[in-house]
Structure 1
Amino acid sequence: MASASPPKAARPLTWIDDINFMLGSGYYALNIALTATYVVVRENYRHKPLASQNMLIFGEVNDFESWERYLGFLCGMYGLFRAYKARSRQAAIASLVDYAQIFVAVMALVCSPFLLAYYVIAYLLIYLLFPQPMLPLHERLDKLTPEAVLDDVRTPGCDTTWVIYHYAPYHRECRLVAPVVADLAARYATDRLKFGALDVGEFTKTAQRLGLDLSAVSPSLPALILYDKGEEVARLPYKRGRGGLAGGGWTGKDVVKAFELDMRYTRSLQKAEGKKAQ
């Protein structure tokens, strides 16, 4: 069976939910707290000679406030652009945190190489000691195993359509895109249109059979596969003619269009109503 107790219908996540979830994790809370210590660094170094005073690669940028304005503009613009292009709200928040860290790290180098070393060590310790959070998918999607896929999903003529999220917990994009799938499940899941999650990082043979690369930077993860009547009918990302991948940066809108979820949702409701009428 897919799961001992299927998840209850959940409302779509909001910005507040995503912010609370990320700030509630030790990883992001400590990273933000460490980045905020830049206020102390600024007070201590803005009137002191800088370690970068003789660096000419940036022209006339040779005092603290000039460096701050220059780097603040660059990191701010890149961070906002990456947040705007992000695949999920959590990915947008993570991008802003990343570029804030880059800003602090470069400003630390400008002030003192030793200060940069302290920051690098501190960030590294947080990365090693505190796991990056991932939305608990089992609360919103059916938790699947390879056996459950064979029994419940790939049964020939199965009258339930399945959308299965294939992920590996150590893969950054898998963690950040999980809320997208959770939102789709909240909007479209019915008794005849179900959403499940399969940890291919744990079930590596299944990943090999599906042609999924399990490296931490794999472009084939996360993968979303649509099964209808027991057969795979669509996948994101999908393989192109010469073996390359297309649709690797898929978003919720891409899934709705490629998997025709609006049509399938309406059809599943009609089937349910027809069954009740009988």
Structure 2
Amino acid sequence: MGKKEKTSNNDEASNDPVQYYDITMNILFAMVSEPYYLFHFITFFSYFSIRFSTSQLFSPQFAGNLLHRELQAFIAFVTLAVVKMVKEETWDGFVADMLLFAKLFLIGIALVVDYHLALWFILTFLVIYLFTQQPPYMGLGSLTQLTPLQLESLLTDGGSSRFWLVEFRSSISSSCVRTSRVLPELSITFSNKNISFGVVDLGLFPNTAARFGISLGVPDQLPTYILFENAEEVSRFPEMHSATKASDITRKRLCRHFELDKHLLDYVGGK
């Protein structure tokens, strides 16, 4: 009886309407407050406005063919969304991929209508790309935002933590945006008195990159994660002089690479 009651409580928690309401409101707030999402939404919505306002100009045969193409694009988009939802580690990466697929499908459908319309959408997306960017995850978890001077001070003078796991990122890097919530979420679970988590924005302090052996060339090595023990580098991911894809950076991989489970067990065991 107790087991059934526990399952029931879990089901109620997972289907909590307040949770879904909060997620929906956060999405709507991001659409309105972030230019990147707002301009994409307006551009996608403009297709439907153009589509319905000009539908009387289409012949029945052309209208049927266009509807068929739209249904094909919609089914393909939903299929890709399901696949990406299963494979993608973070919501930021999922949203980035879905926007890319939506833009490709929209341009393809616009080509069926008129190539001038397709060119207009291409130009619009190019302007959005040049003047806006996808915002990174703003939550910090148990992370500490550090300047290079603060990091040097912590590593040189020591502090309350024996270990520091530091992410070097740039807010203008698409790879860093896609992975911006990975370390904050790990820090919530693994932060303790023995290990602390920090982040340094190399977009603001590019001269610091060479100090830690990080390349900002093409391709760059961002984000880079370095574990320090008493001011000495213990390990890093990716390795020096090598690049990695954003899809390679997952909570599980970082946890295994830096042995975060072991550090947590050592702390619990009093080591």
- Which interval holds the TM-score relative to the shorter structure? 0.7 to 0.9
Unaligned runs of 5+ in 1: 1-13, 54-61
C-alpha spacing 1:213/1:137, structure 2 compared with 1 (3 Å): farther
Tell me, yes or no, if structure 1 residue 152 matches structure 2 residue 154: yes
3-state SS of the aligned residue for 2:198? Answer: strand
- CA deviation after TM superposition for structure 1 residue 269, in Å: 4.3
Q: Give the superposition deviation at 1:103.
A: 1.2
8 Å CA contact retained: 2:158, 2:231: yes
The answer to whether the 8 A contact 2:168-2:199 is kept is yes
Amino acid at match of 2:44: T
Identify which of structures 1 and 2 has the higher relative contact order when contacts are C-alpha pairs closer than 8 Å and 6+ apart: 1
- Count residues in correspondence: 245
In structure 2, give the amino acid aligned to 1:166. Answer: F
Matched, 1:108 2:110: yes
User: Shift of residue 252 of structure 1?
Assistant: 0.7
Instruction: Summarize the alignment of residues 153-192 of structure 1 with structure 2, pairs less than 5 Å apart.
Output: 153=155, 159-192=161-194
**Matching residue's letter, 2:183:** V
Which whole-Å CA distance do the structure 2 matches of 1:110 and 1:154 have between them? 63
CA distance in 2 between counterparts of 1:157 and 1:197 reads 16
TM value normalised by structure 2: 0.75
Q: Which has the higher helix share?
A: 2
Residue 255 of structure 2 aligns to which amino acid in structure 1? Answer: V
Q: SS where residue 37 of structure 1 aligns?
A: helix
Q: CA deviation at 1:200?
A: 1.4
Match for residue 56 of structure 1? none
Range 135-144 or range 104-113, more displaced: 135-144
Give the aligned partner of residue 252 of structure 1. 251
Counterpart for residue 46 of structure 2? 37
Q: How does 1:6-25 map to 2 (within 5 A)?
A: 16=23, 19=27, 22-23=30-31, 24-25=33-34
Please report the TM-score for the alignment, with normalisation by the length of structure 1: 0.74
Structure 1 residues 113 and 226: alpha-carbon distance in aligned structure 2, compared to 1, 3 A threshold: same
Whether the 8 Å contact between 2:161 and 2:195 is mirrored in structure 1 is no
- Once the two structures are overlaid, the 10-residue window that deviates more, 16-25 or 105-114, is 16-25
Q: Secondary structure at the match of 1:63?
A: helix
Gaps of 5+ in 2: 1-19
What secondary structure does 2:165 align onto? strand
What's 1:266 paired with?
265
Distance 1:22 1:214, change over 3 A: farther
The 1:140–1:39 alpha-carbon spacing in structure 2 relative to 1, beyond 3 Å, is farther
Paired with 1:159 and 1:131, the residues of 2 have a C-alpha distance of 35
How large is the RMSD of aligned CA atoms in angstroms? 3.3
Change (3 A) 1:127 1:244: closer
Mapped to 1, the partners of 2:78 and 2:136 lie a distance apart of 26
